[in-house]
Structures are given as structure tokens and as C-alpha cells.
């Protein structure tokens, strides 16, 4: 429950903050829901894997800026983070499916549980797509 509260708090804090550039353009950060994930069926300890994530880019003013990434033992919470230019003339997209790649280095044995953030439901609760990946020798 604390993780979900922290994730929501981070979303609100990050989206409420804005940066000012010298040219007067304002920006804020926004988490976007993960639509699809491509992952290996198993990991080998000491190896690095590329996890491909797809998300919808809402407008021309949204640009990928990395991943929100939280870890607790072998559990990982992942969300797509965009930087958003605050402008009144952003072209709105309805079906711009983008991809980004998360580099993941396997450091321990057992299984990893990935929780990919998919937004919030009608009750305001976080929704996650969960994937468990075993680590093999």
C-alpha cells in the first residue's frame, strides 16, 4: 500500500513541478501507462536483458525521458516517464504507439516480478501488468 501511495505521490509531485528554460518554455514530467511488454521467458544471473515496452504518446509535446523504476528485493515497478512541453498548440495523437527499451541486469537468483504500471482504475487504484521471470543457472 505504501508503494502505491509513493508512486501516486511521485506522479503528482513530478507533474506539478515545472522547469523554466531561458527561452520561457515550461515543462513538466508525466507518467504514461504501459500498453505492451516484450520480455524473455527466463533470466541468467549476471546477464543484461533488453525489455521492450510500448506506450501511447498523447501529443507532439510529449517526449520520452526514461523510466520510473522502483525496486524492492526481486520486485520491480516500472512506468514510462515523459517530459511534456507546456504549449497550447500541441498536436494531439490518438494512436501513436511508441516503444522504449529498459536495460535490466540480473543480480540475484530466484524469480523477478515486474509490475508495469497501466494507469489507474475507476476507483483511483493503480493497475499493473505483472510478469514473473525465473532466474536459471
Containing domain of residue 84, as a range? 2-136
In this predicted structure, the answer to whether residue 65 has a pLDDT above a threshold of 60 is: yes
pTM for the complete prediction? 0.78
61: CATH? 2.60.40.10
Does residue 121 carry a pLDDT above 80? yes
Closest among 89, 93, 15 to 56, alpha carbons compared: 93
Total of domains in the chain:
1
Q: Give the separation between CA 101 and CA 81, rounded to whole angstroms.
A: 12
**82-112 pLDDT tens trace:** 999 988 888 989 889 999 999 999 999 999 9
Amino acid at each position: 500500500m505504501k508503494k502505491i501511495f509513493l508512486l501516486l505521490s511521485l506522479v503528482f509531485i513530478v507533474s506539478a513541478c515545472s522547469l523554466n528554460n531561458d527561452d520561457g518554455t515550461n515543462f513538466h514530467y508525466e507518467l504514461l501507462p504501459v500498453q505492451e511488454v516484450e520480455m524473455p521467458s527466463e533470466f541468467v544471473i549476471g546477464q543484461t536483458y533488453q525489455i521492450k515496452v510500448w506506450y501511447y504518446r498523447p501529443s507532439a509535446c510529449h517526449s520520452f525521458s526514461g523510466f520510473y523504476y522502483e525496486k524492492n528485493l526481486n520486485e520491480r515497478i516500472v512506468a514510462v516517464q515523459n517530459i511534456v512541453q507546456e504549449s497550447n498548440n500541441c498536436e494531439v495523437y490518438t494512436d501513436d504507439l511508441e516503444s522504449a527499451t529498459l536495460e535490466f541486469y540480473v543480480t540475484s537468483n530466484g524469480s523477478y516480478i515486474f509490475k508495469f504500471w497501466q494507469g489507474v482504475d475507476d476507483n483511483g487504484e493503480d493497475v499493473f501488468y505483472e510478469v514473473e521471470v525465473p532466474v536459471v543457472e
